[in-house]
Structure 1
Amino acid sequence: MLSKGRGFILVMLFIAGVINYMDRSALSIAAPFIQKDLQLDAAHMGMIFSSFFIGYAIFNFIGGYASDYFGAKKVLTTSMTFWSIFAGVTALTFNFISLFIARVLFGMGEGPLSASQSKMVNNWFPKKSRARALAIAMAGTSLGGALSGPVVGIVALNWGWKISFVVIALIGLIWTAIWVKFVRELPSNQEVDEEDDDVVQVNAPVGKSGKTPLSFYLKQPTVLFTAVAFFAYNYILFFFLTWFPSFLIDARHLNVKEMSFATMIPWTVGFIGFTLGGFIIDFIYKKTGNALFSRKVVLVTCLLGSAVSIGFAGLVTTTTGAVTLMALAVFFLYLTAITYWSIIQDTVEKKRVGGVGGFMHFLANISGIIGPTVTGFIVQSTGKFTSAFLLAGGIAVIGALCVAFFVKPISDKNNPAAVNNK
């Protein structure tokens, strides 16, 4: 699976994910310092957390579409450069409005990442190993989240929170220089394994439309209900990403150093789940020969497991119990992480994977606009996090049921391309 240049592609995509979540979760780690420095209350901080997702959600779709048209390499190059610059700009903010604007622009830069990663994997890997490749490529996000706690926490404690954003900006720009010099959009003809049963289409032109209109896929129940489940996945993930550090400080009374290392535990466990999920899916696929079933059974089972875990995390009375249950919630959550993208790759033609995946990602990340703000107002009005934990679990149950009952193979019955070819 890793021969013929594919291993290097996975390493670079993995590192991109590490940088992405280190940058993204830096704000939540630095939140106690920022709130004090800029004099922000919980409601204002919730809006700051949500501001990122305004730009991010819109550019999920734009970035995915652009990956189909311009190529994933160019889009990811532009994306990493833009978000790294605005990660650094965060250090220049001085009030609520300036931080809000910086986070919107930062989110715009990060928006294309996942769709571009998915497109690159689709370009380079055959179907039989694609779930594992996606899992490895995207697993860097959870490792980035784990590293963010100690890196940002230690830098912020010793040199100030603004310096931490400058450091992570420089890391992103160094990655970009390596990506531009050494990565190609498609494998060469010599790197194609002719024994692959679903060989990569190396001659597929970038920038030309597929026969099936993009609008056909955007109306399909399979795409829409997969997006609902992805919304639930993101709601839990972004609750953990944005508010869990503050929960540990405000509700569990940890100091910043203790909080920084406590947040590493769920992220580290999540990294294991993320990587393991792809291998489990490919194993089930190998045994059953049913790609969609292998994705659905993991998604439904594990999203329900995450729902139960996060619900109880808000009810327990000890810090150890809360961190342990949150770690379980993230573990189960990340076992499903690549199922959403795999369902799109299994049911959508190659030339539409970027656009359809980006659209699904856009709908899913509306949760990032809604969730952190809702949590902020819940905490502001009740003084507790309990209802916020239970709400996240309830949404995940709805997402799992939607996939169980409504995600099916896409029929060609109303496909204009299929009709025209008859």
Structure 2
Amino acid sequence: MHKKKNYRWTILTMLFIAMIINYVDRAALSIAMPFITQEYHLTPSEKGMIFSSFFIGYALFCFVGGYLADRYGPKRVLTYAMSGWSILCGLTALAFNFWSLLIVRALFGVGEGPVSTTANKTVNNWFPIKERARAIGINQAGGPLGGALAGPIVGFLALWLGWRAAFIVMAVLGLIWAVCWFRMATSTPQEHPKVSADEIALINAERDVPVMTAAEAPRTPVLEIIMQRSVLVTGVSLFCYNYILYFFMTWFPSYLIDAKGIDLKSMSIVTSLPWLVGTVGFLCGGMLIDYIYKRTGKQLFSRKVVLVTCLLIAACCIALTGQVEDVTQSVVVMTVAIGFLMLTAPAYWSLIQDAVPGHQVGTAGGFMHGLANLSGIVAPTATGIIIQTSGTYASGFALAGGLGILGALIVAIFVGQPKSLTPSLSPA
């Protein structure tokens, strides 16, 4: 059988598509919420609870999924996860009141929980250190691209066929992906018949230990992995990052309709703009980190300088958005904020890959991501309460911006050189 030298890019393409589907599915409820609110007469607090219910299952299964990816391999975990969340996405169409929607949404979060952590584990298995950040950026860029596509796709389907049809269509697409992934992927490159020895050697270059299959990897106590300072600190900072992301994802569409008075059709288009810029941010963030690493030979510095600088800019723009009166200016400032926020993201996943050995990346990344995604429970509900009690969105924007500043400072001060980090290279 002919062996390819670059099969890792085929795997990355599949992960990129998975992230597109992931975010379209996840953002679909926010886009459809005006229809659902009208049908079920939901209050702002009830909407916030529905948005938050997703993250109850999601935060827990970020960690569970990462642990299972280390134990059984990312191929199997991603296959089951995509199949499960796609089925639950379709079941959203069967919701008939507030409580049924709350339960389905929580279970939907269980299915989506493993995806980012398991994708990160796959990138760690399939890519050399020098390509790691850009591979993370390309993979994760599918998320904001999916968010950008969600507005037009879900909005169009909801207006044309009704909001329930949108969830059924996305369920079918997810199941198709799961079948393709099961047939095309393996958990590690050495298990795949199409991967050449040269590509395996490239992937293992600069590693202290070559990529191991789940069966070969030594067992390390979970507490020993997750209680490392670098894992805990990065998780707390990512909590602040995710608070901004989920505030934007769940409430910005309603903000444009309720506070700025634009119609649903315009909202579906306008909300795509920050996501499109965010897609570019993900791609550029990964390439920028790899470039700085190549030029300086400083692996940790390349991650921290991008993360701290870009997150500070994003946080200031988020806070400013709530003070802008003109709707066009609001969208522009929010778009800049999301662009810089997404520039930050590859640095988090790079830091966690640097912090622990490869066979622990799923567990460490899953804990970091699970801790961070508790913000998904807090942000939508807290924002809903703030809006209902104050009658304005400005305080919600200010809180999100303040947490972003805190997240940047935490990394700047407390993230140091992990023991497992490979030695610095000479500058190119």
Q: TM-score, normalised by structure 1?
A: 0.95
Which of 357, 361, 368 is the equivalent residue of 2:365? 357
Which of 241, 251, 266 is the equivalent residue of 1:258? 266
Q: CA deviation at 1:187?
A: 1.3
Which of 23, 29, 35 is the equivalent residue of 2:25? 23
Kept in 2, the 8 Å contact 1:128–1:282? The answer is yes
Q: CA deviation at 1:287?
A: 1.2
1:371 aligns with 2:379: yes
1:309 aligns with 2:317: yes
Look up the equivalent residue of 2:332 and give its one-letter code.
T
Kept in 1, the 8 Å contact 2:275–2:338? The answer is yes
1:268 aligns with 2:276: yes
Which of 26, 44, 47 is the equivalent residue of 1:45? 47
Q: Following the alignment from structure 1 to structure 2, what is the Cα–Cα distance between the partners of residues 317 and 108?
A: 38
Deviations 1:381-400 (A, max 9, x none): 11110000000000011110
Report the counterpart of residue 97 of structure 1 in structure 2.
99
Bigger shift: residues 177-186 or 145-154:
177-186
Q: Following the alignment from structure 2 to structure 1, what is the Cα–Cα distance between the partners of residues 247 and 218?
A: 37
Secondary structure in 2 aligned to 1:210? coil
Look up the equivalent residue of 2:82 and give its one-letter code.
M
Q: CA deviation at 1:207?
A: 4.1
Report the counterpart of residue 5 of structure 1 in structure 2.
7
Kept in 1, the 8 Å contact 2:355–2:419? The answer is no
Q: Following the alignment from structure 2 to structure 1, what is the Cα–Cα distance between the partners of residues 259 and 26?
A: 23
* Aligned residue runs from structure 1 range 104-253, under 5 A: 104-188=106-190, 190-193=196-199, 194=201, 197-198=205-206, 204-207=212-215, 210=218, 212-253=220-261
Q: Following the alignment from structure 1 to structure 2, what is the Cα–Cα distance between the partners of residues 199 and 220?
A: 21
Q: Number of residue pairs matched?
A: 411
Q: CA deviation at 1:224?
A: 1.1
* Aligned residue runs from structure 1 range 361-400, under 5 A: 361-400=369-408
Look up the equivalent residue of 1:400 and give its one-letter code.
A
Secondary structure in 2 aligned to 1:73? helix
Deviations 1:143-181 (A, max 9, x none): 000000000001101111001100111110111111111
Secondary structure in 2 aligned to 1:396? helix
Structure 2 unmatched runs, 5+: 421-428
Kept in 2, the 8 Å contact 1:123–1:202? The answer is no
Look up the equivalent residue of 1:43 and give its one-letter code.
S
Bigger shift: residues 289-298 or 218-227:
218-227
Q: CA deviation at 1:200?
A: 10
Distance 1:186 1:349, change over 3 A: same
Distance 1:383 1:3, change over 3 A: farther
Look up the equivalent residue of 1:26 and give its one-letter code.
A
Q: Following the alignment from structure 1 to structure 2, what is the Cα–Cα distance between the partners of residues 299 and 89?
A: 38
Report the counterpart of residue 419 of structure 1 in structure 2.
none
Q: Following the alignment from structure 1 to structure 2, what is the Cα–Cα distance between the partners of residues 209 and 123?
A: 12
Q: TM-score, normalised by structure 2?
A: 0.93
1:401 aligns with 2:409: yes
Deviations 1:224-282 (A, max 9, x none): 11111101110010011100000000001011000000001100000000110000000
Kept in 2, the 8 Å contact 1:314–1:390? The answer is yes
Distance 1:215 1:365, change over 3 A: same
Identity of aligned pairs, percent?
52
Bigger shift: residues 282-291 or 2-11:
2-11
Deviations 1:208-231 (A, max 9, x none): 553653322312221111111101
Look up the equivalent residue of 1:64 and give its one-letter code.
G
Q: Following the alignment from structure 1 to structure 2, what is the Cα–Cα distance between the partners of residues 275 and 373?
A: 31
Kept in 2, the 8 Å contact 1:4–1:191? The answer is no
Q: CA deviation at 1:374?
A: 0.2
Look up the equivalent residue of 1:350 and give its one-letter code.
G
Look up the equivalent residue of 1:242 and give its one-letter code.
T
Kept in 2, the 8 Å contact 1:192–1:199? The answer is no
Distance 1:290 1:300, change over 3 A: same
Q: Following the alignment from structure 1 to structure 2, what is the Cα–Cα distance between the partners of residues 192 and 407?
A: 35
Report the counterpart of residue 297 of structure 1 in structure 2.
305
Look up the equivalent residue of 2:321 and give its one-letter code.
A
Look up the equivalent residue of 1:173 and give its one-letter code.
L
Cα RMSD (Å) of the superposition?
A: 1.5
Report the counterpart of residue 319 of structure 1 in structure 2.
327
Kept in 2, the 8 Å contact 1:79–1:113? The answer is yes
Kept in 2, the 8 Å contact 1:220–1:410? The answer is no
Q: CA deviation at 1:204?
A: 1.4
Kept in 2, the 8 Å contact 1:125–1:199? The answer is no
Kept in 1, the 8 Å contact 2:73–2:213? The answer is no
Deviations 1:10-44 (A, max 9, x none): 11000000000000000000010011111111110
Q: Following the alignment from structure 1 to structure 2, what is the Cα–Cα distance between the partners of residues 92 and 226?
A: 38
Report the counterpart of residue 344 of structure 1 in structure 2.
352
1:65 aligns with 2:67: yes
1:280 aligns with 2:288: yes
Q: Following the alignment from structure 1 to structure 2, what is the Cα–Cα distance between the partners of residues 331 and 129?
A: 22
Structure 1 unmatched runs, 5+: 413-422
Q: Following the alignment from structure 1 to structure 2, what is the Cα–Cα distance between the partners of residues 269 and 205?
A: 37
Bigger shift: residues 194-203 or 276-285:
194-203
Q: CA deviation at 1:182?
A: 1.3
Look up the equivalent residue of 1:385 and give its one-letter code.
Y
Look up the equivalent residue of 1:93 and give its one-letter code.
A
Report the counterpart of residue 76 of structure 1 in structure 2.
78
Q: CA deviation at 1:3?
A: 4.3
